[in-house]
């Protein structure tokens, strides 16, 4: 009897969301995947660690998703863990004067779903609200252009008459948390994407998803089981030293502990600086590939963890516009804590390079003071423990000029694909961007093998008024383009 050919095989290097998405997509369609990850826990920059003192697993920093993050949601569903991401349909804001505002939608279709809530916002006067609404609607209506990645959001907002108070109280905090840059540094293209897809186009797009357990726990076992059930393998705790062409036409990964892995194709799903280092080892073609993203650089995020001797009364996510802490998150009891720790708060400080440069103890003191001011339930509480996690390499800097440097997932080197939040996805550096990049890399790989491409999860559909407004924007842009073309000829 003739032996059937072995299934196609792939090495995936890096077990963050990009590598996980690529591995799950490929293994689900019959490719034998070996997923190699340096750490024992999956999730990469979104992951967790075991605290050496308490022995508890904790996230390095708070991660949130939005209702528009459909690839991430579909991945978590495939892994059977989506129920652990709890959806918040309200985002609470509290300013330095103690004025609370809840951003909450109604049943009205976007972009009118948040109109009632916006009118009730206490931070802006009526004319400021009208100017802000006008600017946000213009942002929804205008089609994205390549030149948006050369300009900043701040310049665009001011050109469109957005009041400074609206930028400080609402737009700034939202954009900083989603893009990890201030409005004056972030490229308009990235901010446009987040504000349009995440807030203006669909009623449920802004709903915040927060995991109810550490991300490392959420991902590691389910991914390992998913792969094992399909004849693939997760190799955790394996640091790859170098990649090279293997025997025949395939690829070979050499780990620092001497283990070697071979497969027909390779997806490099590590951050851009490590991808450049590995590509440099592939000779001239690898060096010229890596040169295409030279110029991408990092932006930091600082995570602060505070444990109190009593329960903390705080919404799951609370924006503190104008404060050092930016956002506070109250963690449910499903996150492990020591016996005397009844309350657990985290803060995520984005787009603040000065803050990231301060000593950890100073940062923790600033956040603890913000929390004390904002939350009466802990005014007299004892702070039992604190921890500051500085992620210097948190996201690629979503500044003007960055988008043009992002490579596509298929490379000119046969059998080599790139994945990662930094590759070209149309998204800023996020779990959703990483997941999309992994899905695209897997799809390109399957197409090169002559196999069926996987069905991509659909984007969240825009509600009809938003769709109509975007249609009008496209029409006006086309008319303007034709007009400028006929003048120049």
Ligand X SMILES: Cc1cc2nc3c(=O)[nH]c(=O)nc-3n(C[C@H](O)[C@H](O)[C@H](O)COP(=O)(O)OP(=O)(O)OC[C@H]3O[C@@H](n4cnc5c(N)ncnc54)[C@H](O)[C@@H]3O)c2cc1C
Looking at the Cβ atoms of 239 and 288, the one nearer to ligand X is 239
Q: Shortest Cβ distance from residue 255 to ligand X (Å)?
A: 8
Which of 12, 26, 64, 202 is the binder for ligand X (CB under 6 A)? 64
Site string for ligand X, 300-329 (x = CB under 6 A): -x-x--------------------------
Residue of 12, 32, 44, 142 interacting with ligand X (CB under 6 A): 44
Beta carbon of residue 431, minimum distance to ligand X (angstroms, whole number): 4
Kindly tell me which of 93 and 329 has the beta carbon lying closer to ligand X: 329
* Contact with ligand X (CB under 6 A) among 11, 31, 61, 356: 61
Residue holding tokens 């399909």? 230
Residues 216-245 that bind ligand X (CB under 6 A): 239-240
Binding map of ligand X across residues 268-287, x = CB under 6 A, - = no contact: -xxx--x-------------
User: Which CB atom, from 261 or from 307, has the smaller least distance to ligand X?
Assistant: 261
* Range 147-206, binding ligand X (CB under 6 A): none
Does residue 402 contact residue 257 with C-beta atoms inside 8 Å? no
The residue among 46 and 320 lying less far from ligand X, judged by its C-beta, is: 46
- Nearest Cα to 10, choosing from 265, 247, 254, 231? 265
Residue closer to ligand X by CB (options 399, 434) is 434
Please identify, among the stretches 74-82, 99-107, 168-176, 424-432, the one whose residues bind ligand X according to the rule CB under 6 A: 424-432
Q: 223 or 381, CB closer to ligand X?
A: 223
Q: Give the span between the Cα atoms of 353 and 360, in whole angstroms.
A: 13
Of residues 349-408, those binding ligand X (CB under 6 A): 391, 394-395
What is the SS3 string spanning the chain? Answer: CCCCCCCCEEEEECCCHHHHHHHHHHHHCCCEEEEEECCCCCCHHHCEEECCCCCCEEECCCCEEECCCHHHHHHHHHCCCHHHEEEECEEEEECCCCCEEEEECCCCCCCCCCHHHHHCCCCCCHHHHHHHHHHHHHHHHCCCCHHHHCCEHHHHHHHCCCCHHHHHHHHHHHHHHHHCCCCCCCEHHHHHHHHHHHHHCCCCCCCEEEECCCHHHHHHHHHHHHHHCCCCEEEECCCEEEEEECCCCCEEEEECCCCEEEECEEEECCCHHHHHHHHHCCCHHHHHHHHCCECECEEEEEEEEEEECCCCCCCCEEEECCCCCEEEEECCCCCCCCCCCCEEEEEEEECCHHHHHCCHHHHHHHHHHHHHHHCHHHCCCCEEEEEEEEEEEEEECCCCCCHHHCCCCECCCCCEEECCCCCCCCCCCCHHHHHHHHHHHHHHHHHHCCCCCCCCCCCCCCCHHHHHHHHHHHHHHHHHHHHHHHHHC
Shortest distance, CB of residue 270 to ligand X, whole angstroms?
4
Q: Note whether 128 binds ligand X by CB under 6 A.
A: no
Residue closer to ligand X by CB (options 241, 474) is: 241
**Torsion on CA atoms 424, 425, 431, 434, rounded to nearest 10:** -50
Q: Give least dist CB 137 to ligand X, A.
A: 26
Decide: is 215 part of the binding site for ligand X (CB under 6 A). Answer: no
Compute the least distance from the CB of residue 2 to ligand X, in Å.
38
Shortest Å, Cβ 479 to ligand X: 37
Residue 27 is a binding residue for ligand X (CB under 6 A): no
Nearer to ligand X among residue 141 and residue 442 (C-beta): 442
Distance in Å, CB of 419 to ligand X, minimum: 7
Scanning 32-40, 156-164, 366-374, 406-414 for contacts with ligand X by CB under 6 A, the matching segment is 32-40
- In angstroms, what is the minimal distance from the CB of 434 to ligand X? 3
Contact between 264 and ligand X (CB under 6 A)? Answer: no
- The stretch near ligand X (CB under 6 A) out of 26-34, 38-46, 126-134, 146-154 is 38-46
Interface residue with ligand X among 10, 11, 12, 18 (CB under 6 A) is 18
Rounded to whole angstroms, how far apart are CA atoms 310 and 316?
A: 16
- Name the residues that contact ligand X, by CB under 6 A: 13-19, 36-39, 44-46, 61, 63-65, 239-240, 269-271, 274, 301, 303, 348, 391, 394-395, 420-421, 429-432, 434
């Amino acid at each position: 009897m003739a032996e059937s050919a072995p299934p196609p095989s792939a090495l995936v290097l890096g077990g963050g969301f990009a590598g996980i998405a690529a591995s799950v997509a490929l293994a689900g369609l019959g490719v034998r995947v070996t997923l190699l990850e340096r750490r024992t826990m999956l999730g990469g920059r979104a992951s967790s660690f075991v605290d050496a003192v308490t022995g508890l697993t904790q996230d390095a920093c708070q991660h949130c998703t939005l209702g528009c993050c459909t690839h991430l949601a579909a991945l978590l569903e495939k892994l059977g863990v989506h129920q652990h991401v709890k959806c918040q349909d309200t985002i609470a804001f509290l300013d330095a004067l103690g004025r609370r505002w809840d951003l909450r939608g109604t049943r009205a279709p976007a972009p009118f779903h948040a109109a009632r809530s916006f009118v009730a916002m206490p931070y802006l006067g009526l004319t400021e609200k009208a100017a802000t609404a006008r600017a946000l609607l213009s942002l929804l209506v205008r089609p994205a252009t390549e030149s948006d990645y050369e300009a900043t959001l701040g310049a665009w907002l001011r050109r469109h008459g957005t009041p400074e108070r609206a930028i400080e109280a609402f737009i700034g905090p939202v954009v900083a948390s989603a893009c990890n840059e201030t409005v004056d540094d972030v490229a308009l293209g990235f901010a446009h994407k987040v504000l349009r897809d995440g807030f203006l186009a669909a009623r449920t797009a802004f709903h915040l998803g927060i995991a109810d357990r550490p991300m490392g726990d959420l991902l590691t076992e389910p991914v390992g089981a998913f792969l094992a059930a399909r004849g693939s393998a997760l190799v955790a705790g394996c640091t790859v030293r170098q990649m090279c062409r293997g025997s025949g036409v395939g690829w070979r990964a050499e780990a620092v502990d001497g283990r070697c892995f071979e497969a027909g194709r390779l997806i490099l799903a590590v951050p851009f600086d490590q991808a450049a280092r590995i590509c440099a080892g592939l000779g001239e073609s690898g060096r010229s590939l890596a040169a295409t993203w030279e110029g991408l650089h990092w932006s930091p995020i600082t995570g602060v963890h505070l444990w109190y001797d009593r329960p903390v009364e705080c919404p799951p996510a609370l924006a503190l516009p104008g404060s050092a802490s930016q956002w506070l998150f109250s963690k449910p009891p499903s996150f492990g804590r020591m016996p005397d720790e009844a309350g657990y708060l985290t803060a995520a400080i984005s787009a603040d390079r000065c803050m990231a440069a301060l000593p950890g103890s100073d940062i923790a003191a600033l956040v603890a003071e913000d929390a004390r001011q904002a939350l009466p339930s802990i005014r007299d509480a004892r702070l039992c423990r604190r921890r500051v996690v500085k992620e210097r390499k948190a996201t690629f800097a979503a500044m003007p000029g960055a988008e043009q440097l992002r490579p596509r997932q298929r490379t000119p080197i046969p059998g080599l694909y790139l994945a990662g939040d930094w590759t070209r996805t149309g998204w800023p550096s996020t779990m959703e961007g990483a997941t999309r990049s992994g899905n695209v890399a897997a799809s390109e790989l399957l197409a090169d093998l002559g196999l069926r491409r996987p069905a991509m999860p659909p984007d969240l559909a825009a509600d009809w008024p938003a769709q109509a407004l975007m249609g009008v924007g496209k029409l006006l842009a086309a008319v303007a383009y034709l007009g400028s073309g006929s003048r120049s000829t």
